[in-house]
């Protein structure tokens, strides 16, 4: 997602690639995970893995998730805007902040969705047609439990050789999350027929529904539905 116009310049190419995006990586559950809680309360996790449009679209369909916000993390407040981040020099990654109910889904289950259907964790500084450090695969942990579970899961998947290449996902401490501009929020819901969404993001939601039916829930729409496939 370099600049808005660049997406439409590559429409023909990504549409040709879309037919190949039909399956997700089948990965095991994490051997180390947080416990389901019985105490009321919400928790958050911040993840980056390519364009935040797709990550938001996927995680809004995950059981136990109550809110997903597109934004930036890894850089300073001064550069937390789309124009600056698109240069790939700010340290920011396009990311999503996921708010979830730990009595309904665990942190490890969210990571399983992240690794299997939300993006390709073996790509370095890119996802699909989007290239740059702002599209890197990264888990921003907010405490030692999150760090430990994430790193152990990466080691588990690498040792099992689930992917043909080593996982490139970074595990770094979360300093701050900055909400992205309003026009980026729920982009896939607002513009489901956008060629980029059709080619790159609808297949991810489809894979979640197909591969993880126990975690999939229909999107809860809060605004006008525009012929959405979500």
Just list the catalytic residues: 51
According to DSSP, residue 182 is labeled G
User: 61: buried, middle or exposed (CB in 10 Å: 19+, 13-18, 0-12)?
Assistant: buried
Element containing residue 43 per DSSP (H, E): strand 43-49
- Token duo for residue 145: 């439990």
Own/partner contacts of 74-81, CB < 8 Å, gap of 24 or more, are 74/48, 74/138, 74/140, 74/172, 74/175, 77/176, 77/178, 80/178, 81/181
d(CA 128, CA 1): 10
């Amino acid at each position: 997602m370099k600049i808005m116009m660049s997406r439409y310049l590559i429409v023909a190419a990504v549409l040709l690639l879309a037919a190949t995006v039909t399956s997700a990586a089948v990965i095991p559950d994490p051997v180390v995970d947080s416990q389901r809680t019985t105490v009321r309360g919400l928790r958050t996790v911040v993840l980056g893995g390519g364009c935040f449009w797709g990550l938001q679209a996927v995680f809004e369909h995950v059981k136990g998730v109550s809110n997903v916000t597109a934004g930036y993390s890894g850089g300073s407040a001064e550069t937390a805007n789309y124009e600056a981040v698109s240069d790939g020099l700010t340290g920011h990654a396009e990311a999503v902040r996921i708010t979830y109910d730990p009595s309904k889904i665990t942190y490890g289950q969210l990571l399983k969705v992240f690794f299997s259907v939300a993006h390709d964790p073996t790509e370095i500084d890119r996802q699909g047609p989007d290239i740059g450090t702002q599209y890197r695969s990264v888990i921003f942990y907010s405490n030692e439990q999150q760090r430990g579970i994430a790193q152990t899961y990466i080691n588990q998947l690498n040792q099992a050789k689930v992917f043909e290449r080593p996982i490139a996902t970074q595990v770094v401490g979360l300093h701050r999350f900055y909400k992205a501009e309003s026009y980026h929020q729920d982009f896939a819901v607002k513009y489901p027929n956008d060629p980029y969404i059709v080619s790159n993001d609808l297949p991810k939601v489809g894979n979640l529904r197909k591969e993880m039916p126990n975690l999939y829930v229909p999107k809860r729409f809060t605004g006008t539905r525009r012929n959405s496939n979500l």
